[in-house]
Amino acid sequence: MPQQKSSNSLRRITSHEVALRAGVSQSTVSRVFSGDERLSEATRERVLGIARDLGYKPNAIARSLITRRTKIIGLVASYMTNPFFPVVLQAFTQRLHELGWRVLLFTAGTSEDVDELLPEVLAYQVDGLIIVTASLSSQMTREVLQRGTPVVLFNRYAPGSGASAVSCANYEGGRLVAEVLLDAGHKRLAYITGRADTSTNVDRQRGFLERLAERKSHCKIELGNFTYAGGFDAALRLLKSKKRPDAIFCANDITALGALDAARKLGVRVPDELSVIGFDDIPMAQWTAYDLTTVRQPVEEMIEASVELLLERVNNINLGSVLKFLPGTLVRRGSARLQP
Amino acid sequence: MPQQKSSNSLRRITSHEVALRAGVSQSTVSRVFSGDERLSEATRERVLGIARDLGYKPNAIARSLITRRTKIIGLVASYMTNPFFPVVLQAFTQRLHELGWRVLLFTAGTSEDVDELLPEVLAYQVDGLIIVTASLSSQMTREVLQRGTPVVLFNRYAPGSGASAVSCANYEGGRLVAEVLLDAGHKRLAYITGRADTSTNVDRQRGFLERLAERKSHCKIELGNFTYAGGFDAALRLLKSKKRPDAIFCANDITALGALDAARKLGVRVPDELSVIGFDDIPMAQWTAYDLTTVRQPVEEMIEASVELLLERVNNINLGSVLKFLPGTLVRRGSARLQP
DNA sequence: TTACTCTGTGCATACGTTTGCATGATTATG
DNA sequence: CATAATCATGCAAACGTATGCACAGAGTAA
């Protein structure tokens, strides 16, 4: 209805038009663009030439309708406030592009929204789904999977749900931090949590606590929520308490930066009086003001693995789900004293 | 070809199926979902019921093909390393969603890539384009526009190109900073640039310099590139020079944070010995370690304006292009001495 | 010559919707 | 009671592409 306004040269160029100009059938034009082998060099070039002149590009929508493949991956992300995710987002779109896929982006404020969002995504017949830092209800996971759309959870996992997942080895990361802090002779330890309902937080905390317990140590726990402000406030509480900790492990980097700023505000010297260790290795961790010692997530490898896992399953629906955990590595910087 | 693997319940549910089960025609089902008025309550409810049972949702691809509207907006972004953009990205997707649009995301490493990226975007028949912090060749702009796809540039502008644009009033922002720094009695001023080929940098710099000139002042210019490292290095050079500046205006916040860390490293006290002012007001500007005085871009309003401008033109191709500049406001924090 | 294989191209159909038009049923009007 | 008007629904033709099948012509082999 709205199009009828004297659309002079505004009509879209279709394969029919190109065919007409080139004196071939529409099929032939289609074959040129879908890379069919058996076509004479002559016609191929003629068609390509005319297409270029007319500015023709195959309509991906029409193509998707018939091939039943959109070449679109739905990407659902939440918690974009954490500087870790822009990096991830960028890497995902970049990588998928290289492989010839497009990204339909959805941002969910809270995890609960994801379930409501998904039907919208699916209406666009995306060939696969990547869910970053959010989880689906098992109900929704089931629906999506039996529809034949593979799902990969990034930075989360849900065993038994049927969805594949890629995550950092958070449990082992937690253990590692416990190890190096104890080795360095720290006595009064603390952990600032992330959001309690995330596997990321749970695993890091469990790894940390379990290794502490194994070595007959323990720690104080203070609530954060994966944010700068959360880390700041939690650290303030810890540092003002009577038995002030000499080392704090934070659920992620952004929390750790908050903690460092709390120490700065109170005049607590880092790392002499206090060691702080984070988790992620976001770009700011290297900044002079922080110089944060942290556990680096192997983002590149995680992205690569996610994409691979997903596309494998796009091509073969019958592949089962896989959980993949990649090891993090300790990046030693100035915010923690790690020598005895 | 790949689909033929014993896909039992894996067949997609179409309006035909729903129609069959409901004992109505496919047209009727379609009418139910496109909100046609004249339909008996009885059939509407029966169809909706069956659709719910079967998990039917109209295929957006097929719908797009016939309506010639995809309800998809292409969003091309670059320089995701600047923390300003995740915020922008999040806001855009959020807002567009609320209005019933989807976002196809493309990230361009450098501006030059955008031209190569666009044909891919257009193949998906996006109804409109938002280009964040990147520009198009005038050639490409012309092609896109005459194709009937409206374009809005965000944080850039290109007068005469036919593309609409929304940007902060960078020139006035630059003037404002000059004003307050001179008012406070600063004598030795400096400007750390962003990338020279961006209107953002050019305008901020021009505004700053022109106001200085008007008040018979001038400043030293040091090259940055809109990054933390760029700001850090540039500030280092400035602060080590014989006539060390007593105030630095940085092309954006991330540059300013780098500059502050350079000062921290050299032991230059802020704001007593040095004032630093940025531009953007990214989340980190509030962090205790920086407490950055800066010119805030009215992001919310800019997003809102961009979306409005774009959707207006999606609905009416004949509307001309508009350049919109929204004023920034000075946010006074601790990194600058602004009293004489 | 006949028969047969290849190669390159066209014909026609399908993908899952929307929508103008036609039609039968129902209600209002004279 | 006849006719007109209204309502709810069905029919069929698009949208722009991909692709199985048919087929013409060229080449090869007998």
Whole-angstrom CA distances from A115 to A110, A119, A149, A338, B90 are: 10, 8, 15, 44, 18
The stretch A64-69 carries a mean pLDDT of: 96
Omega into A271 within 30° of 0, i.e. cis? yes
The answer to whether B11 and B3 have CB atoms below 8 angstroms apart is no
The dihedral built from the CA positions of residue A31, A33, A37 and A42, taken in this order, carries a sign that is positive
Question: Given the DSSP bridges, would you call strands B219-222 and B164-168 parallel, antiparallel or unpaired?
Answer: unpaired
Alpha-carbon span B227 to B242, nearest angstrom? 25
Q: How confident is the model at residue A306 (pLDDT cuts 50, 70, 90)?
A: very high
Number of C-alpha atoms within 13 angstroms, CB side, residue A277?
A: 32
- Cβ–Cβ of B90/A80 closer than 8 Å? yes
- The number of beta carbons lying within 10 Å of the beta carbon of residue A9 is 8
pLDDT of residue B331: 98
For residue range A17-47, list pLDDT tens digits in order.
999 999 999 999 999 999 888 888 999 999 9
Pairing relationship of beta strands A293-296 and A247-250 according to DSSP bridges: unpaired
Residue A114: strand, helix, or coil: helix
Q: What angle do CA B72, B78, B84 make, to 5 degrees?
A: 100
Model confidence at B207: pLDDT above 50: yes
Across the range A82-109, mean pLDDT stands at 91
Tell me the C-alpha distance between A321 and A312, whole Å: 11
- At A7 the pLDDT is 35
Per-residue model confidence (pLDDT) at position A11? 67
* Nearest by Cα to B121 from B130, B134, B133, B110: B130
Are the beta carbons of A202 and A208 closer than 8 angstroms? Answer: no
> Exposure pattern of A234-261 as b/e (b: 16+ CB <10 Å)?
bbbebbeeeeebbbbbbbbbbbbbbbbb
Parse chain B into domains and list their residue ranges: 2-58, 67-168+299-327, 170-298
Assess contact for B78 and B197: CB atoms under 8 A: no
Rounded distance between C-alpha atoms, residue A11 and residue A17, angstroms: 11
Residue B241's Cβ-side half-sphere holds a number of Cα atoms within 13 Å equal to 16
Residue % of chain A over a pLDDT of 70: 96
Q: Are strands B323-326 and B329-331 parallel, antiparallel or unpaired?
A: unpaired
Contact A224, A198 (CB under 8 A): no
Helices and strands of chain A, counted as H and E runs: 12, 12
Tell me the C-alpha distance between A259 and A276, whole Å.
Answer: 8
Q: What is the mean pLDDT of residues A272-282?
A: 97
E strand or H helix that includes residue B142: helix B138-146
- Look at strands B293-296 and B329-331 and give their pairing: antiparallel
Contact B261 A287 (CB under 8 A): yes
Identify the helix (H) or strand (E) that includes residue B317. none
Counting residues of chain B whose pLDDT is more than 90, the rounded percentage is 79
Q: Do B109 and A119 touch (CB under 8 A)?
A: no
pLDDT at A58: 96
Query: Among B204, B152, B180, B195, which Cα is nearest to B323's?
Result: B152
Where residue A138 falls among pLDDT bands split at 50, 70, 90? Answer: confident
- Going by pLDDT thresholds of 50, 70 and 90, the confidence category of residue B4 is very low
Q: Is the pLDDT of residue B78 over 90?
A: no
pLDDT given for residue A116 in this prediction: 86
List the B16 CA – C28 C1' distance (angstroms).
Answer: 36
Asked if B257 and A83 come within 8 Å (Cβ–Cβ), the reply is: no
Q: Is the pLDDT of residue B7 over 90?
A: no
B136-147 pLDDT, tens digit per residue, is: 888 888 889 888
> Which residues 160-199 in chain A show a CB within 8 A of chain B?
none
Mean pLDDT, residues B37-57 taken together: 92
Q: Please, what's the b/e burial string for B314-330 (b: 16 or more CB within 10 A of its CB; e: otherwise)?
A: beeeeeebeebbbebeb
Nearest residue in chain A measured CA to CA from B255: A287
Considering chain B, what is the average pLDDT of its residues? 92
How is residue B12 written in tokens?
């997609």
Going by the DSSP 8-state scheme, the letter that residue B2 receives in this structure is G
* Cα–Cα distance measured from residue A110 to residue A198, given in angstroms and rounded to the nearest whole number: 12
pLDDT surpasses 80 at A49 = yes
What is the DSSP secondary-structure string of B67-78? HT---EEEEEEE
Token duo for residue A243? 């038995």
A267 near B CB under 8 A: no
A68 CA vs C14 C1’ separation (Å):
12
Q: What is the mean pLDDT of chain A?
A: 92
Beta carbons of B80 and A86 less than 8 Å apart: yes
Strand A293-296 with A329-331, pairing: antiparallel
Q: What does CATH list as the number for B2-58?
A: 1.10.260.40
Q: What is the pLDDT of residues A179-199, one digit of tens each?
A: 999 999 999 999 999 999 889
**Pairing of β A329-331 and β B102-108:** unpaired
Mark yes or no for CB contact A80/B86 under 8 Å: yes
Contact A219, A189 (CB under 8 A): yes
| pLDDT of residue B262 exceeding 70 | yes
- What's the pLDDT at B9? 44
Enumerate the nucleotides of strand D whose atoms come under 7 Å of any protein CB: 7-12, 14-20
How many angstroms separate the CA atoms of A163 and A319, rounded?
11
Which ranges of A184-298 does DSSP label H, i.e. alpha helix?
199-214, 228-240, 253-266
Identify protein residues whose C-beta is within 7 angstroms of any atom in strand C: A 1, 23-28, 31, 36, 38-40, 42-44, 62, 65-66, 68; B 12, 14-16, 26-27, 30-31, 33-34, 56, 58-59, 62-63, 65-67
Q: What is the pLDDT of residue A311?
A: 97
DSSP state letter for B334: T
Check whether B216 has a pLDDT greater than 70.
Answer: yes
Give the Å distances, CA to CA, from A168 to A34, A201, A306, B105. Answer: 39, 11, 12, 26
CA distance B140 to B134: 13
Cα–Cα nearest to A96, from B132, B127, B3, B107: B107
Over residues A220-231, mean pLDDT:
96
Query: Whole-number Å distance, CA B65 to C1' C16?
Result: 9
Q: Which residue has the higher pLDDT, A38 or B316?
A: B316
One CATH from 3.40.50.11140, 3.40.50.2300, 3.30.530.20, 2.40.30.10 for B170-298: 3.40.50.2300
Structure tokens at B148: 């009937």
How far, in Å, CA of B79 to CA of B109, rounded?
A: 7
Task: Give the amino acid at A301.
Answer: E
Geometric angle at alpha carbon A169, from A168 and A175, rounded to 5°: 135
With a cut of 80, say whether residue B80 has pLDDT above it: no
For residue A153, pLDDT over 50 is answered with yes
Which region among A112-116, B87-91, B250-254 has the lowest average model confidence (pLDDT)? A112-116
Is the pLDDT at B1 greater than 70? The verdict is no
Facing residues of A76 across strands?
A106, A131
* C-alpha to C-alpha distances, B123 to A60, A204, B72, B162, nearest whole angstrom: 5, 44, 12, 21
Say how far apart CA B118 and CA A97 lie, in whole Å.
13
Residue B109 in 3-state DSSP? coil
Q: What is the pLDDT of residue B112?
A: 62
Considering only the C-alpha atoms of chain A, give the largest distance between any 2 of them, rounded to a whole number of Å. Answer: 88
User: What is the percent of chain A where pLDDT is above 90?
Assistant: 79
| pLDDT above 80 for A221 | yes
C-alpha to C-alpha distance for A228 and A251, rounded to whole angstroms = 11
Distance CA A158, CA B293 (A): 44
**A52 has a chain B CB within 8 A of its CB:** no
Helix, strand, coil share of chain B (percent; to 5): 45, 15, 40
Which CATH superfamily, name and number, covers A67-168+299-327?
Response regulator (3.40.50.2300)
* pLDDT class of A252 with cuts at 50, 70, 90: very high
pLDDT, average across residues A94-115? 87
* pLDDT class of A109 with cuts at 50, 70, 90: confident
Which helix (DSSP H) or strand (DSSP E) does residue B222 occupy? strand B219-222
Answer yes or no: is pLDDT of B227 > 70: yes
Give me the phi and psi of B33, to 5 degrees please.
Answer: -85, -15
B34 pLDDT more than 70: yes
Are A67-168+299-327 and A170-298 equal in CATH topology? yes
* Distance in angstroms (rounded) separating the CA atoms of residues B305 and B299: 10
The one-letter amino acid at B168: C
Q: Nearest residue of B to residue A109 by CA position?
A: B94
pLDDT for B3 equals: 33
Beta-carbon contacts of residue A117 (< 8 Å; ≥ 6 apart): A76, A106, A108
Residue nearest to nucleotide C15 (CA to C1'): A66
